[in-house]
Amino acid sequence: MRTLDWVDGAIEMVDQTKLPQVVETLRIETVADLVAAIERLSVRGAPAIGVAGAYGVALAALRHDPGTDRSGFDAAVASIRSARPTAVNLARMVDRVAPIAAADPAAGLAEAHRIRDEELAASIAMGERGADLVEALMVERAAAGDRDGAAVRVMTICNTGGLAAVERGTALAVVQTLHERGRLAEALPIETRPLLQGGRLTTWELQRMGAPHRLLVDSAGPFLLSRGGADVVLIGADRVAANGDTANKIGSFSLALGAADAGVPFVVVAPESTIDPATASGDDIEIEDRGPDEVASVRGVPVAPDGTPACNPAFDITPVRLITALVTDRRTVRFDRGETL
């Protein structure tokens, strides 16, 4: 299913905060509502918020004619661009559409449609390219005597499917392609605290595609890797620095450490648009802290005493030395073989 699109002058999206219990479509008709939807994670995932941002600029031009209200248009665009700081796709797609929409709102909307279509094509390409790499990695491991059998057990974190990328996704697109090829033994999503995107969203998508899966608590991932519980780890990315360091959902770094210790390939799957040549390394990536409420409660139910302080980084940085390969819609980069971006 397409989880985000432009429909009759507004943005429509599946509200990810309501899943899996309720499948509800939000109709976003104002920039303020879009910014609020991005901030509360009704739409999330780097490719998806990039598309949302592109359509948001088109919406801004519709509500604030750049020819007569340029200051209103610029302010609306700035509010979209800054809604979430870590994922580079949001700022990049806003910056791509804004000058076009400022000159011609209709052309701006056409450019936003083009971005959507590019992400759809990228998801298909990443799924195919990533599945090819996983199969090649399994051949390499079998030749080294590290595994038996043709089917693959894949561990993953957060949500990287169509909910994060309009359709199919990034890392989960690889899982879907492996499943369609009959090569998936099992997907092992971790729950992904504090907002449970793995437990709520990835399991929902795996169930819809009919893929075998079991849900893990976050802390079980590295231990199960040490016991041979998975053949490969696949993650998405919110930003890939020029040196290959990768920002992704908090917990990705722990999985990378566990995979390195266990000798399990650790693969990042992200569109080319997520690579940021202007960011030299992971040290330069701003990490969003979302405050204590998400940690001290689970979906509105308190799990800690009132007033409990918390540290809540939404993302972490996996250094390139722990990453086996990066798969984009255009290329596969084998960091384990000394290749660079």
Structure confidence by residue, pLDDT tens digits, 61-89? 999 999 999 999 999 999 999 999 887 89
* 235: β partners: 268
**Using an 8 Å Cβ cutoff, are 322 and 257 in contact?**
yes
CA gap 312, 91 in Å, rounded: 23
Say if residue 185 is exposed, middle or buried (CB neighbours under 10 Å; 0-12, 13-18, 19+): middle
CA gap 246, 143 in Å, rounded: 29
DSSP state of 201: I
Give the three-class secondary structure for 102: helix
Predicted local confidence at residue 149, as pLDDT: 66
C-beta atoms surrounding 120 within 10 Å: 18
Backbone phi and psi for residue 241, each to the nearest 5 degrees, phi listed first: -75, 170
Predicted local confidence at residue 148, as pLDDT: 64
Q: Is 238 a catalytic residue?
A: yes
pTM of the model: 0.94
The CA-based diameter of the chain, rounded to the nearest angstrom, is 68
Predicted local confidence at residue 141, as pLDDT: 87
Domain over 127-337 is classified CATH 3.40.50.10470: yes
Backbone phi and psi for residue 119, each to the nearest 5 degrees, phi listed first: -70, -35
Predicted local confidence at residue 21, as pLDDT: 95
Predicted local confidence at residue 258, as pLDDT: 98
Low-confidence ranges of the chain (pLDDT < 50): none
CA gap 311, 291 in Å, rounded: 7
Task: Kindly compute the dihedral angle of the four CA atoms of residues 247, 250, 252, 255, in this order, to the nearest 10 degrees.
Answer: 160
Structure-token pair, residue 259: 């995979």
pLDDT per position as a tens digit, 175-189: 999 999 999 999 999
Predicted local confidence at residue 1, as pLDDT: 78
Query: How is the chain split into domains, by residue range?
Result: 4-117, 127-337
Pairing outcome for strands 184-189 and 152-156: parallel
C-beta atoms surrounding 215 within 10 Å: 16
Top CATH class of 4-117 equals: mainly alpha
CA gap 52, 45 in Å, rounded: 10
In which residue are the tokens 């901030």 written? Answer: 39
Pick the catalytic residue: 231, 238, 245, 276? 238
Gyration radius from the chain CA atoms: 20
CA gap 236, 171 in Å, rounded: 5
Give the three-class secondary structure for 148: coil
Sign of CA dihedral 173, 190, 327, 53: positive
**Using an 8 Å Cβ cutoff, are 160 and 170 in contact?**
yes
Sheet holding 4-7, edge to edge: 4-7, 10-14, 25-28
